[in-house]
Amino acid sequence: MRKIVKKTVIYTVMAGLMQTGLASLPINAAPKSDEGQEQQDQQRRQQERREQERQDRQRQDQQRREQDRQDQQRQERDRQDQQRQERDRQDQQRREQERQDRQRQEQYRQEQERQSRERQERYRLEQERQSRERQQWYRQDQKRHDWSNERYRDTIWHRTDFSYDEPSPFRWHESFSSMRDRFSPDEYRMEFIHDRDWNDRFPGLHSYRWRDHPGYHQGFFWYRGIRIHDAVLFFDDWDELVGVGFMYEGVFVFIRDDGRPYEHQHDSALLALLLIIFAL
């Protein structure tokens, strides 16, 4: 009996406790459910934030990769531009060098042509000069004035026994214009002799009075060691020098183009004309 009562009491207490526990359970459960939800929300927000950060990092990485790609493309374009500019510069330098080479070649060709023309011109002038000299030498050696006129007979002129080979500024068969060009105006002091009586004594010749000058630079005129200051130069009809006349020891000496001096035989009229001519 006691056992039954004891069990009944125990069951009653346990039932009461269970009732008490069940009554308080909803009250305590509700707070635990809100805290879990908050934790879940916080976790969800953290997860969303991490996801956003991950996406942000992905976007940043993508942006960096895109920027790097653009930078590489820009660098590649710059490199290509530099290479193109360098090629253009080298091409321009090459064209400029080729132009300068062509210009130098053209200048060299022109210089060679100019030098060749100058050599040819010098050669031509030298040939002409040598030809003139040969002709002059030939005239000096072969050409002689015709002295067959009776005015030049030996009965009037006495031929000396020696040839004239002393220093002289005059050249046989040199033209009047050549002498005028060779002598300076101060040195070349010649005056045409207009005296008819004088000219009649030298038929076929044209007489000029020549006078020495202190500033003479073409050499002086000498005869037997004496310097002659006044002379008469005789030119033929071609204006070439063929004779020189002057006074020497009271005698009129006439040197012809054959190199022979002649002395006049006692012609007082000629000497008087000569004195008048030299006194002018």
Q: pLDDT tens-digit profile of 151-182?
A: 888 788 888 887 888 878 888 999 988 888 87
Q: pLDDT tens-digit profile of 187-198?
A: 667 889 999 999
Reduced to 3 states (helix: H, G, I; strand: E, B; else coil), residue 163 is coil
Whole-model pTM? 0.50
Q: Parallel, antiparallel, or unpaired for β 261-264 and 157-159?
A: antiparallel
Q: pLDDT tens-digit profile of 51-105?
A: 888 888 888 888 888 888 888 888 888 888 888 899 888 988 889 999 999 999 9
Structure tokens belonging to residue 29: 């459960």
Domain ranges in the chain are 156-279
Q: Which residue has the tokens 């956003």?
A: 52
User: Do 186 and 214 meet the contact criterion of CB atoms below 8 Å apart?
Assistant: no
Quick one: what percent of the chain has pLDDT higher than 90? 22
Higher pLDDT, 75 or 35: 75
- Neighbour tally for 210: CB within 10 Å: 23
Could you give the CA distance from residue 118 to residue 90 in angstroms, rounded to a whole number?
A: 40
Question: Is the per-residue pLDDT at 7 higher than 90?
Answer: no
Phi, psi of 188 (to 5 degrees): -90, 85
User: Do 259 and 269 meet the contact criterion of CB atoms below 8 Å apart?
Assistant: no
Handedness of CA 120, 121, 122, 127 (dihedral sign): positive
Confidence (pLDDT) at 204: 93
Confidence (pLDDT) at 27: 47
Question: Is the per-residue pLDDT at 39 higher than 90?
Answer: no
How far is residue 155 from each of residues 18, 158, 268, measured CA to CA in Å? 200, 7, 15
Q: pLDDT tens-digit profile of 227-246?
A: 898 999 999 999 999 999 99
